[in-house]
Amino acid sequence: MKISIGNDHAGPEYKKAIVEMLQAKGFEVTNYGTDSAASVDYPDFGHPVATDVAEGKADFGIIICGSGNGIAMTANKHQKVRAALCWIKEIAALARQHNDANIISIPARYTSIAQAVEMVDTFLTTDFEGGRHQTRVDKISC
């Protein structure tokens, strides 16, 4: 499985832990994020992840910023992207089951690194349920 990941200055340590977990599971990871705590602009890292997912170059995306909101808003500007802001593993599971989310957005300032790793694992191992949810997902794109 191919995963693209991007983060701003709030997420280098989160990204590092997540990438280690993903690589240990044999996933191919493309890293667009910063490795520095120096202030940067989250769209510069969210757009490349969203582009990879929208163009099929990545199966899923992971984006990280302080609140998770700005980078999710950025990613959701792309057609074929459904980025979900998740703060606990149950929300990550529902984002996949009910919304067929293909990018998880993590709020680094409001979750622990351990929670983030657990959410990503849950997100990537949860299937979309389809059925009645497919009709709703089909209505998302403009």
Beta-strand runs (E) in 1-142:
2-7, 28-31, 60-65, 83-85, 103-107
C-beta of residue 116 within 8 angstroms of C-beta of residue 17: yes
Catalytic site residue from 47, 78, 86, 98: 98
Dihedral, CA of residue 124, residue 88, residue 72 and residue 67, to nearest 10: -140
The residue annotated as part of the active site, out of 9, 65, 78, 86, is 65
Rounded distance between C-alpha atoms, residue 132 and residue 123, angstroms: 20
Contacting residues for 72 by C-beta, under 8 A, at least 6 apart: 46, 63, 83, 84, 85, 103, 105
Cβ proximity of 30 and 85 under 8 Å:
no
**Catalytic: 98?**
yes
Which residues are known catalytic residues? Answer: 65, 98
